[in-house]
Structures are given as C-alpha cells and as structure tokens.
Amino acid sequence: MAPPTELPARLERGSAPGFRAMGRLVAVGLLGIALALLGERLLALRNRLKASREVESVDLPNCHLIKGIEAGSEDIDILPNGLAFFSAGLKFPGLHSFAPDKPGGILMMDLKEEKPRARELRISRGFDLASFNPHGISTFIDNDDTVYLFVVNHPEFKNTVEIFKFEEAENSLLHLKTVKHELLPSVNDITAVGPAHFYATNDHYFSDPFLKYLETYLNLHWANVVYYSPNEVKVVAEGFDSANGINISPDNKYIYVADVLAHEIHVLEKHPNMNLTQLKVLELDTLVDNLSIDPSSGDIWVGCHPNGQKLFVYDPNNPPSSEVLRIQNILSEKPTVTTVYANNGSVLQGSSVASVYDGKLLIGTLYHRALYCEL
C-alpha cells in the first residue's frame, strides 16, 4: 500500500495535462464567442449603413450644378427673403475631401435673382479662418430683424458653436461668440431658438475618435440632444444611435431629429421649459441626414444617403449616391413620403441636405457639389 503522501503527488502529476487541455478549451471557446460577437456587430453595422443598397434614379428636369461649390455644402438654411446660406468644406479624419488643404467657409445665394450664384461671405477680423470647419447651420431672426447665423464648427476637429450676426449690406458675418461646453462633445447639427439659444445634436457621446468608432460599432445608442442657453445647458433627449439633423416646426411646437444610422426621424414636443418629449418615430429605408422645413406647408425635406458605406469608403469608380425625400403631414398616422430626387453618384455624390424656397430646390452634399433645381 502506497504511503498516504504519494497519492496527491500522483494526482497532481496526472492532472496537469488535463488542466492545460481544459484551459485551452476555455480559451478557444472565449475566442469563438468574441469572434462571433464581432461578426454579428459587423453585420449589424453593414445593415445600419445599408451597405448593399443601390438607388434607382429619380430625375428632375430643370437642374444644374452650382458654380463655386466643389468640396461640399453639408447644410443649407434659407431666410424668408430668399437668401440661402451654405456651410462649405467640412472635413473629418477618414472622410474624403476634394479640397483637403482649403479651409471651410459660409456661402450665400440670393434665390430671388434670375440667375442666382454662390458667393463666399466675408467674416470679421479676429475669427480664426484657417481652422474654420463648418458643419450644421441655423438662422434666427430677432424681433428687431437682426439675423443671427449659428454654425457648428470643428476647428482642429474639436467642437464649438459659432454665433455670427449677418450684415446684409456688407455681405459679411460679424463673429459674436464661441460656445464650448462639456455637454457638446460631438456636435453635428443645430436649430436656433433665440439670439444665443439653440438645440443641438451630438452624433456621439464621446469626442475621442477611437471611442466614437467603438460607440458606433457596438451600437450603444448614447447620442443625444442638448438645449443650450446662456443660463442653462441640459440634455433634453437621448437614446439615439447617431443623432444628426435637427429642425423645428413652423409653429415652434415640435422638434424633429434625424437618427442617421437608425433610419428614423423622431418627432418631439417642445415644452415651455425647453424640455422635449417624444411623440412618434417615422421609420425610413435610408440614412437620413439634415432636415429642412418648408415654412409654408410644414413639409420636411430630407437629404439622405442610400448607402452609407460608399459615403465613408470612397471609391471614385463607385461613388456614393444621393437621395431627397419630402415628408408631408408627419404628425398624421400615415405621413406621405415621396422620393423627389435620386442619383447614383454620376451627378451628385453624398447628398446631405435639401431646402426649398418659392419653387426652387437646393441640394447640398457632404463633400461634393451642390444642385439647384426649379420644381
């Protein structure tokens, strides 16, 4: 009979290979789970990007490309008198650009002219033009008819909101204020509701590029809407995949928010304390970018990306397509959604905004040209 001390020793010697095998099985199992999760997230991201979608052309008869806009017109806002503002030259790390070394700017067109053309507005001295990187824009007209232009800016890929006063006689912008805040880490678009008051979308919770990518990849739904005033800043809506375009109804009762990767437009009711509550969600089959409102009808015009993968992985031989939707009666049970324009990229690449005025349609893009159409 073996001494009692020898039995544990033999067990220990005999079980070491078993423990190693078990460890390998666990490691392989965990690796398999991780790869399966990564594969599922990648497939989900492709679906959110509509990576397999191709668009069928819907043409408009009276359109031409706008001279002087060659490297994007990401957002457009039109005043009641027909003056249209364009944000031009947006740049982001990894995003294609046709003018990578040229700073961004604000352009203007007078749509009441017989042959309107785009002109770049002068900006007052002291403003850093070299790092100007404009994104979403919005106008506000005060009681004394002063026009304020709000511009989301990404100087050196940071996040600010610039407030300008528009001086029409000089065709210039007077810079009034730069807004920075910890609740505005990744600002995309803006809708002004006062001379220094606005709602803004954050398309990500994080500001760091890697964390942004991780947030998108994992589909965390941490994007939000923030209300800003000189006296109060607060999150008023959250839970978006990637909150993008934002605008306000003509009666100032509702805020509309585009969730680009969820293919949705959210309708939110605005309260006297500026908080928002969600009323409904309109689901679409495209990546919705900026929202423009026809003040006469309340219709929503949407610049869309039929295939987001083409937008971010640029191939000149297979460029991103463009799509414009018109949404009528969004508050009804069955809103009417019409495809007004669609192009495979042969004319217009990466449409991001569509705005109407008196039978005229302007279509802007993330980094390409802009289109002027007579409806």
Rounded to whole angstroms, the Cα distance separating 116 from 106 reads: 16
| Cβ atoms of 341 and 363 closer than 8 Å | yes
DSSP 368: S
Joined together, the tokens standing for residue 60 give 């408009």
Burial of 70 (0-12, 13-18, 19+ CB in 10 A): middle
143 assigned ligand-binding residue: no
Contacts of 295 (CB under 8 A, 6+ apart): 80, 250
Start-to-end Cα distance in the chain: 102
Q: Is 135 a catalytic residue?
A: yes
| Cβ atoms of 147 and 141 closer than 8 Å | yes
128 assigned ligand-binding residue: no
289 assigned ligand-binding residue: yes
Burial of 110 (0-12, 13-18, 19+ CB in 10 A): middle
74 assigned ligand-binding residue: yes
SS3 state at 310:
helix
Within 26-110, strands assigned E span: 63-65, 73-78, 83-88, 105-110
Residue 356, beta-bridge partner list: 361
| Cβ atoms of 64 and 372 closer than 8 Å | yes
299 assigned ligand-binding residue: no
290 assigned ligand-binding residue: yes
Q: Find the catalytic residue in 64, 96, 135, 368.
A: 135
Rounded to whole angstroms, the Cα distance separating 362 from 354 reads: 6
Question: What does the DSSP assignment read for 112-147?
Answer: TSSS---EEPEE-TTS--TT--EEEEEEEE-TT--E
Rounded to whole angstroms, the Cα distance separating 290 from 297 reads: 18
Binding residues for Ca(2+), as ranges, are 74-75, 137, 188-189, 244, 289-290
Binding residues, as ranges, are 74-75, 137, 188-189, 244, 289-290
> Which residues are catalytically annotated?
135
